[in-house]
């Protein structure tokens, strides 16, 4: 059997597959985010490890005597987080997460001192990435910065606890702004600009390769063989791509989770930083990927449901009853509850409802939220297309994939076929288990089959045209708000 561990922002999930790739068992453990100040988002790495330890005990119970058949473990994780270790390999401070936006000023500084950044790292300096976080620590917590012996990414901290080895993979490392993404190696020049060097960095392997084996004492405690392999693993989106079988150039998917991602596999390194498109390494050798990323996607729906005291399912049912005329007259919603990445790179962008009146009941406002998030995805598709990337159809994964209404709305707005898959298990944990299979020597074609299509949602021309009128208003709203904030 093969085990995948996915360290997300809101939970750690673990999943086991058998020799044939069938899911044997899965379980998850919740995590909380600490926000001690505005713009801050932190977690204690110890909480990740405790959750992982709990999952191993729980899955061991579920699997009974079959537990010891686990041959390899794969890792997937939230990207960009800064885990700082001292000389004794103790955590210096809470991890600064991907959705922490405190380092906006440091991004300006990094762009200024590293003119080669865009070409080498393939991305704009954004507060989400790891490098600006370290510049922030250097400026605001100099004592902590002076103690840094190692910088690890979140899932690589789990690997260190499991194996005693400090190792990362190409896809996750590409999200630090310290990787030469074309060469798939650390950039000494970019590290130097942040007061760091190669000695602060983990070694690098490809995501589908063996990184290490379990530390013997831990293996004994978990009831596993110390020969269990740990795959390189990867950043959550690249590993999710393995889960949906996105392993060939042009394969694409939309993930509607806390954040919203439009991911497409490319055969070459194709940076397009001018429009805040991300260009990263894939978890497979000689492949890269582009991503558009919006910081708040399904989390906008969760926020609205909390605000008005309704469950997501109940609200989605109400929205599905709306007529075309009602939807055309609905308010507009800007989904920038955490600022925005693609295409605006604007940490100060805010969310808003526009056009409210006495008829604006919660179903109409809920519709506006779904539509606004979908318009944000359309912004991402537009800049990907402008960079020369062609997408024929998209898989839909994440929490949003459970809503037929949202799937059709995305197809109509993006003017692309959108497909959902059977089984639903297409995320990071499944992708991580598949990377474990690859590290153990199983062939790519057998492991990374595309999951069976459940349904295809095709765009409808009349609806697309009507929605494009509202999309133009959506874009004008952001421009007006930006102009207002500038003055």
Length of the chain: 487
Instruction: Give the integer Cα–Cα distance in Å for 121 and 179.
Output: 6
Q: Which two tokens stand for residue 127?
A: 């507060």
Q: Of residues 6, 169, 180, 236, which has the active-site annotation?
A: 236
Write the CB contacts of 438 (distance below 8 Å, at least 6 apart in sequence): 208, 231, 444, 447, 448
The long-range contacts involving 457-462, CB below 8 angstroms and separated by at least 24 positions, are: 457/404, 457/407, 457/408, 457/410, 457/411, 457/417, 457/418, 457/419, 457/420, 458/411, 458/417, 459/411, 459/412, 459/414, 459/415, 459/416, 459/417, 460/412
79 is in an annotated binding site: yes
Residue 409 region, left (φ>0) first, then alpha (ψ -120 to 50), else beta?
A: alpha
Instruction: List the alpha helices (DSSP H) in 387-460.
Output: 404-414, 428-439, 444-447
Q: Which two tokens stand for residue 172?
A: 């996750």
Q: CA–CA distance from 256 to each of 168, 175, 287, 296 (Å)?
A: 26, 20, 23, 9
Task: Point out which residues pair with 28 in neighbouring strands.
Answer: 13
Instruction: Give the integer Cα–Cα distance in Å for 195 and 209.
Output: 30
Active site residue 156: no
Give the sign of the dihedral formed by CA 347, CA 234, CA 383, CA 189: positive
Q: Are 224 and 214 in contact (CB under 8 A)?
A: yes
Query: Phi/psi of residue 210, each to 5°?
Result: -75, 130
DSSP, collapsed to helix, strand or coil, labels residue 373 as helix
CA angle 362, 363, 368 (to 5 degrees): 95
80 is in an annotated binding site: yes
Write the CB contacts of 51 (distance below 8 Å, at least 6 apart in sequence): 11, 12, 29, 30, 31
Instruction: Give the integer Cα–Cα distance in Å for 240 and 399.
Output: 13
Q: Which two tokens stand for residue 368?
A: 């506006």
DSSP, collapsed to helix, strand or coil, labels residue 137 as helix
Instruction: Give the integer Cα–Cα distance in Å for 2 and 81.
Output: 26
Instruction: Give the integer Cα–Cα distance in Å for 237 and 76.
Output: 9
| Cα-based torsion angle of the residue sequence 125, 127, 129, 132 in order, rounded to the nearest 10 degrees | 70
- Could you tell me which residues are annotated as the binding site for substrate? 79-80
- Could you tell me which residues are annotated as the binding site? 79-80
Kindly list the catalytic residues.
236
């Amino acid at each position: 059997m093969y085990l995948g561990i996915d360290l997300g922002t809101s939970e750690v999930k673990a999943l086991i597959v058998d020799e044939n790739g069938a899911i044997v068992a899965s379980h998850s453990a919740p995590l909380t985010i600490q926000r001690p100040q505005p713009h801050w988002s932190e977690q204690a790495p110890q909480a990740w490890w405790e959750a992982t330890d709990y999952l191993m005990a729980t899955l061991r119970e579920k699997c009974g005597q079959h537990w010891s058949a686990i041959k390899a473990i794969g890792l997937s994780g939230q990207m960009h987080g800064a885990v700082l270790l001292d000389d004794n390999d103790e955590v210096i401070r809470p991890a600064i997460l991907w959705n922490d936006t405190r380092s906006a000023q440091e991004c300006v500084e990094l762009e200024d001192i590293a003119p080669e950044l865009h070409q080498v790292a393939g991305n704009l300096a954004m507060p989400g990435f790891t490098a600006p976080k370290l510049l922030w620590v250097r400026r605001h917590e100099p004592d902590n910065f002076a103690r840094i012996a190692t910088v690890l990414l979140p899932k690589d901290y789990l690997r260190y606890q499991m194996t005693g080895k400090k190792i990362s993979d190409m896809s996750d490392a590409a999200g630090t702004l310290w990787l030469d993404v074309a060469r798939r190696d650390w950039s000494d020049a970019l590290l130097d600009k942040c007061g760091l060097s190669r000695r602060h960095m983990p070694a690098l392997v490809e995501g589908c390769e063996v990184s290490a084996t379990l530390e013997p004492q831990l293996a004994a405690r978990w009831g596993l063989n110390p020969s269990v392999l740990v795959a390189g693993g990867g950043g959550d989106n690249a590993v999710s791509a393995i889960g949906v079988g996105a392993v060939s150039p042009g394969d694409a998917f939309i993930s509607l989770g806390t954040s919203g991602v439009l991911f497409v596999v490319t055969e070459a390194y194709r940076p397009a930083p001018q429009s805040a498109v991300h260009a990263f390494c894939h978890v497979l050798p000689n492949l890269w990927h582009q991503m558009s990323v919006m910081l708040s996607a399904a989390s906008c729906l969760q926020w609205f449901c909390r605000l008005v005291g309704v469950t997501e399912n109940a609200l989605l049912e109400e929205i599905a009853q709306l007529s075309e005329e009602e939807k055309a007259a609905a308010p507009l919603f800007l989904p920038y509850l955490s600022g925005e990445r693609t295409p605006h790179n604007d940490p100060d962008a805010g969310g808003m409802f526009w056009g409210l009146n006495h008829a604006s009941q919660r179903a109409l406002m809920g519709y506006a939220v779904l539509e606004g998030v979908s318009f944000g995805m359309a912004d991402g598709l537009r800049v990907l297309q402008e960079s020369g990337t062609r997408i024929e159809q998209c898989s839909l994964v994440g929490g949003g994939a459970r809503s037929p209404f949202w799937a059709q709305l995305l197809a109509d707005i993006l003017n692309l076929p959108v497909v959902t898959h059977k089984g639903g298990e297409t995320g990071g944990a499944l992708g991580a288990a598949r990377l474990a299979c690859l590290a153990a020597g199983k062939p790519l074609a057998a492991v990374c089959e595309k999951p069976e299509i459940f349904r295809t949602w095709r765009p409808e021309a009349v609806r697309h045209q009507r929605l494009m009128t509202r999309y133009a208003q959506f874009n004008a709203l952001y421009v007006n708000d930006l102009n207002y904030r500038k003055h």
